[in-house]
Amino acid sequence: MNTVRLYSSQRSFPRRLAARLMSPPKGTPQASGWKLWLTYAQSNARNRIASLQEKIMQDVQTEGSKEQTLVMGEINQLHFRNAKATIKTPTLLLHGYAASSMAFHRNFEGLSKSIKDLYAIDLPANGLSPTQPLNIKCSEPLPLKVQITKTTFRLPYTLEHLHHKSLIQNYEDYYLDALEQWRYDNKLGPVNIVAHSFGGYLSFKYAIKYPHAVKKLCLVSPLGVERNIFSINNQWRSNHNYKLNFEDPASKFYLPQRPAIPKAIFESQTKFLRNLGPFGAKLCWNYIISAYSRVPSLEYKKYIFAMFYGKDGMSQTSKDVFTGLFTNRLLARDPLLDCLSHLKTDKLLLLYGDHDWMNRRAGLALAKEAEEIGITADYSEVSSSGHNLFLDNPEEFNQQVVQFLSK
């Protein structure tokens, strides 16, 4: 098992984010905030996203055949089939939050050389998959209000664990049951899953709920791994001071030192940018061309912008599910480390970028604890890459994924 290779940075995450928003790298494509705002202010983003996806896929060369379908009118799917490939187990690529199957457009060619049946889908209410009804079958529990000082925290009342657990399961099932229905509709047996960020969180929970459905699980810079003080699994006493742990993501006392996202921005998300008019459009464009500076496709950057900023580019349902599962510190209310004992899968790989902002120590802790309960697990990093490692360094990413799936 590899160790975490830490890197130094002279700027904090908020300062790096501000730099991306205000000063994109020299030589990157520029755009007028007024023009972007006028173009995207009222027009529905869905048609623009579909057109841009078609342009992106025209440049994707794969082994064998490729087909796009809307499975049972619900899930937008890309299927690449190469009868000569050596990995016979069907493999699903699952995107993260505010993304789609197009996130893996730089990986389709390389992975299709080795995988017989390679799938990439848009989760419901994401990309080109239509929004399905979100049915919450339980009432809203008493909100979790953690009072935090510099070194301690406390809860003013006892948490209703089972009530919160039921609500979280409702939110998760919106995606988990759709994934299982997708597998059933495609008449697939157990599949391998390679899932990024929020998709990693979902695929882990999917493997727990449907243990017969997943063979190998590759979590790519997954969100929601670390234990934390907001976890609904903690049995805190009311009005008791507990000491914070800022270092160990395997501790239930853990709280990362990054600042919380302001509640109004976390809940409104892309609406906040849209409400800023042309200035918000310019900020959004600057961030995208900075964050995806290593991606050569300008069409892909336009695609991401259409999803982020375009009207209905991100559905309210996808936002509601996300904010129901995570706090405004991007910590899971039901962390993966808390659920590990229920995971049943053949093999597990935690894969990060060597310059990843995601908590790599949490991934290392998950791999270690998985080994301790008998799951074959490993941790690895892709060089010269960040959170979107499959876009930053697709060749090495593909190599590591194929190696893992071939074992």
pLDDT in tens, 264-295: 899 888 888 888 999 999 999 999 999 899 99
Do the strands 65-71 and 214-220 form a parallel or antiparallel pair, or are they unpaired? unpaired
For residues 209 and 196, what is the distance between their CA atoms, to the nearest angstrom?
19
pLDDT in tens, 305-347: 999 998 888 999 999 999 999 999 999 999 999 999 999 998 9
Q: 23: which 2 tokens? A: 């000063």
Q: CA of 320: how far to CAs of 147, 168, 209, in Å?
A: 24, 12, 21
Q: What is the pLDDT of residue 18?
A: 58
pLDDT level of residue 1 (50, 70, 90 thresholds) = low
* Average pLDDT, integer, range 167-190: 98
Q: What is the 3-state secondary structure (H, E, C) of 106-147?
A: CCHHHHHCCECEEEEECCCCCCCCCCCCCCCCCCCCCCCCCE
CB 310 within 8 A of CB 342: no
pLDDT level of residue 214 (50, 70, 90 thresholds) = very high
CB 406 within 8 A of CB 347: no
Q: What is the pLDDT of residue 96?
A: 97
* Average pLDDT, integer, range 177-201: 98
pLDDT in tens, 115-143: 999 999 999 999 999 999 999 989 989 88
For the ranges 156-160, 240-244, 389-393, the lowest mean pLDDT is seen at: 156-160
**Dihedral of CA 29/32/33/36: which sign?**
negative
pLDDT level of residue 362 (50, 70, 90 thresholds) = very high
Residues ≥6 apart with Cβ < 8 Å to 113: 63, 82, 85
pTM here? 0.93
For residues 138 and 354, what is the distance between their CA atoms, to the nearest angstrom?
41
3-state SS assignment for residue 369:
helix
Q: What is the pLDDT of residue 10?
A: 41
pLDDT level of residue 144 (50, 70, 90 thresholds) = confident
- At position 303, the amino acid (one-letter code) is Y
CB 338 within 8 A of CB 272: no
- In words, the CATH class of domain 61-143+159-223+314-406 is alpha beta
What percent of the chain stands above pLDDT 90? 78
